[in-house]
Amino acid sequence: MAELAERLDAVLEELTDMALDALRLASLGDPDSAETGEALSREKRILKARRALERCVSALREGARASHEPFDEGAG
């Protein structure tokens, strides 16, 4: 699972770059233009996807840590 989490980290970086590109595009245009609105909307969707992917990576890493912990029969 750790290997998959690392691959997803690369996708997170790619999504970050895409969001920054969308913000740059939005900042260059007329604030009231359709292109600026579309760029801001795209940035918002990318960040939403990025947050969801961050949760997935976190869950994968938690699972990897849990599988390395010794089983405690007295727990509970």
Q: Give how many domains the chain has, as a whole number.
A: 1
* Within-domain flag for 47: yes
Residue type, 71: F
* Within-domain flag for 37: yes
* Within-domain flag for 73: no
Q: Scanning the structure block, which residue is given the tokens 């869950």?
A: 59
Distance of alpha carbon 27 from alpha carbon 45, whole angstroms: 17
Give the domain range for residue 32. Answer: 2-68
* Within-domain flag for 76: no
Per-residue model confidence as pLDDT tens for the chain (76 residues) = 889 999 999 999 999 999 999 999 999 989 899 999 999 999 999 999 999 999 999 999 997 776 665 545 554 4
Provide the whole-model pTM: 0.76
Q: What is the pLDDT of residue 2?
A: 87
